[in-house]
Every structure is written in structure tokens, then in C-alpha cells.
Amino acid sequence: MDLHTALGPLQLRNPLIMASGTFGYGWEFRDFLDYSRLGGVIAKTVTIRPRKGNPPPRTCETACGVLNSIGLPNGGIDEFLRVGLPYLSRLDTCRIASIAGETVDEFVEMARRISNQGGADAIEVNISCPNVKKGGMAFGADAPATEQVTRAVRAVCAVPVIVKLTPNVTSIGEIAAAAQAGGADIISAVNTFLGMAVSWPDARPMLGNIVGGLSGPAIKPLALRNVWEVARSVDIPVMGVGGIVTGADVLEFMTVGARAVQIGTASLVEPTAMERILSEMVAELDEHGFSSAEQALGRFKPSQGPSCCR
Ligand code: RRO
């Protein structure tokens, strides 16, 4: 089975990428995964200065999903360049750094320094974190701000720029188009959905931050709809992310136009999930007579009416 996929200038050995925030900078998963079997990895988002993150509890399990309000804890860009990026750069897969700023200048400074140091094959611009007060979703919820930050980062980066979008907007297609207008090479869709959990007997929130971002299988249909809308709104490649746990899930995202997918929450409950998902995807493709993953791309035919497959 030919599993190769191209994300613009990035050539991946298969379409499965480890989502940001779910495996640190690679060290944490070294005993569980053979990175050379993955399409790529995206490091935990870094910020210009070190951050402690949000007050605990930072996660809460919900029906078919996880709420998180981690709040971007990280050692800052200096530590990332000294420790995180050198480790990440040794992994035998496509290595992607992730940055989040409070201002355009912060995004630019981090992108420039990562690009100049080398070791990352691309940079994901996280304009969609739901759990921080400054920056975070503010850029990703506004089309002109999305275009502005994308253009500024693009101008200082020697590697492809990926823009990660929030689904917590009215028209994600407009935001995706703004990222493309700003020069984005690739779009990631989507980050987590704002949600909350409450303990009714003591009338208190379950998260220290009260609200958080929902991920996991609960959001798959929501993410799929967002990815379809993004794929119809831009000409650049799209990575689908949100609730993927099976090989069939991957192929659903590819059918509506995602050239690759990211897997996050599935690895938290099953650290070897990505290898299982890859085998399932190959078996699914084989069973349906496909000889390559790219043949599954963009086949969606809504005009033919609803499916009678299941
Ligand atoms: O750290 C977080 O709380 C976090 C981030 Br940066 C993000 O992009 N998405 C998310 O659900 N949590």
C-alpha cells in the first residue's frame, strides 16, 4: 500500500501526524512509539516566556471526550531552542514546531529564531488555544488578525507555515481564506471546542479554569464538518484533526479533503494508538480496493445523496 502524502512542500511517509500538546517534544513517548512509522510529529506549543499554565484540575473526562485547560505551560522559547528542538530534530519523521504569541511581534520573533536555528521541517502557528487570556483564540477568531499574523510569520520563515484554526467561530471558511491570503502553506483544522463540566451537588466547576477545550471522539462529527468547510474554502492543503480513533476515521477526513490528519486524545488513552490506526487504515483501503492513501483524497460526493453503506 502506498501511504505517501504531500502537504504542499512537505513529503510525509503516511498521513498520520501526532497532534501538538499530546506528546511534549518527543521524549515522553520514546518508549511507546517508533517515530519512523509516523507521518510526522508536532511539538507542544511554546511561548516567548516560560509559563506555569492554569490552576488544577487541568483535565476532566467527559462522555466520549476530554476537557482540558492546560494553559500552555512551557519553558519558553529559549529552553525550546536549547533542549526541545534539538531533541525533536533527531526524530526520524517530519518534525513540526508550534508557537503561540500574545502579539504579532512575539509570533515573528519565535518563528524567526526556530527557522534560523534549523531542525524543524515546518512551524505550526497556534492561533487557536482556548485556555489563555491574551493571544490564544483572539487571533484565530478574527479574519484580518489571522491574515496579519500569518503574513508576518511567513515573511521570516524559511520553512512551511501551518496555521491552526479554532472551531469556536461562526465561519471557519472565512478565517481559513484569511490565512491563505496571508501566505499560509497549510491549514490545521481544528483546535478544541470550548466547553465546561460542572459538579451539581456542590455547584462547582470541574476545571480550575472553569472552561476548557473539548477533544476526543465526542467532537469528531463537529471537526469533520469544519474540515469539509475549510477544504472547500482554500486551495492550500488541509490537515484534519478532532476525535480520530480508528483507521476509518482517518479516511473520512481524507474523503472530505484533508491530505493528512493529526491524532491527539487517542494517544493519551492508548499510547500506541497511532500504530493501530495506521494498520486499520491500510486494512480499510485494501478491503475497498484502493492501492494508495492519496486515492482516498477528496472523493466526497454529497450531490449523490446519502449513503446506504451503514
Ligand atoms: O495548553 C492548552 O491549554 C491548550 C492549547 Br496551547 C491548545 O492549543 N489547545 C488546547 O485545547 N489546550
Say how far apart CA 265 and CA 212 lie, in whole Å: 14
The mean pLDDT value for 222-246 works out to 98
Q: Which of 60, 64, 94, 129 is catalytic?
A: 129
Residues forming beta bridges with residue 213, ordered by sequence position? 68, 194
pLDDT in tens, 41-97: 999 999 999 999 999 999 999 999 999 999 999 999 999 999 999 999 999 999 999
The mean pLDDT value for 119-130 works out to 96
Examine residue 207 and state whether it is found in any structural domain, yes or no: no
The total of other beta-carbon atoms located within 10 Å of residue 149's CB is 27
Question: Which ligand 1 atom sits nearest the alpha carbon of residue 45?
Answer: 6
Give the DSSP letter string of 32-50.
T--GGGSSEEEPPPB-SS-
> Total domain count for the chain?
1
> Residue 26's pLDDT band (boundaries 50, 70, 90)?
confident
Task: Cite the DSSP H helix spans in 91-210.
Answer: 104-117, 137-140, 143-156, 172-181
pLDDT at 32: 85
pLDDT at 309: 77
> Residue 29's pLDDT band (boundaries 50, 70, 90)?
confident
Residue 30 belongs to domain spanning = 5-53+71-197+215-304
Distance 44 CA to ligand 1 centre (A): 9
Which residue's CA is minimally distant from atom 1 of ligand 1? 72
pLDDT at 23 exceeding the cut of 90: no
Examine residue 46 and state whether it is found in any structural domain, yes or no: yes
The mean pLDDT value for 279-306 works out to 97
pLDDT at 117: 98
> What does the angle CA 185 – CA 110 – CA 78 come to, to the nearest 5 degrees?
140
pLDDT at 13 exceeding the cut of 80: yes
pLDDT in tens, 203-215: 999 999 999 999 9
The total of other beta-carbon atoms located within 10 Å of residue 196's CB is 16
Q: What is the dihedral of CA 284, 288, 291, 297, to 10 degrees?
A: -80
Mean pLDDT for the chain overall = 96
> Residue 8's pLDDT band (boundaries 50, 70, 90)?
very high
Residue whose C-alpha cell is 491549514: 187
Which backbone phi and psi does 284 adopt, to 5 degrees?
-65, -45
> Residue 199's pLDDT band (boundaries 50, 70, 90)?
very high
pLDDT at 133: 83
pLDDT at 136 exceeding the cut of 90: no
Q: Which of 42, 59, 68 to mutate to test the pocket of ligand 1 (most atoms within 8 A of CB)?
A: 68
Say how far apart CA 107 and CA 284 lie, in whole Å: 40
pLDDT at 310 exceeding the cut of 90: no
Largest CA distance in the chain: 56
Report the range of poorest mean pLDDT among 20-34, 48-62, 98-112. 20-34
Say how far apart CA 175 and CA 140 lie, in whole Å: 7
Examine residue 178 and state whether it is found in any structural domain, yes or no: yes
Distance 130 CA to ligand 1 centre (A): 6
Stated pTM of the model? 0.98
Half-sphere exposure in the Cβ direction for 30 (13 Å, CA): 9
Examine residue 259 and state whether it is found in any structural domain, yes or no: yes
Amino acid at the residue 65 = G
Q: Is 47 in the pocket of ligand 1 (CB under 6 A)?
A: no
Examine residue 40 and state whether it is found in any structural domain, yes or no: yes
H or E stretch covering 62: strand 59-62
Q: What percent of the chain has pLDDT over 90?
A: 92
Examine residue 114 and state whether it is found in any structural domain, yes or no: yes
CATH number at residue 139: 3.20.20.70
Say how far apart CA 148 and CA 166 lie, in whole Å: 16
Question: Which ligand 1 atom sits nearest the alpha carbon of residue 131?
Answer: 3
> Residue 217's pLDDT band (boundaries 50, 70, 90)?
very high
Which residue's CA is minimally distant from atom 5 of ligand 1? 129
Q: Is 84 in the pocket of ligand 1 (CB under 6 A)?
A: no
Examine residue 58 and state whether it is found in any structural domain, yes or no: no
Report the range of poorest mean pLDDT among 55-69, 114-128, 133-147. 133-147
> What does the angle CA 263 – CA 166 – CA 8 come to, to the nearest 5 degrees?
60
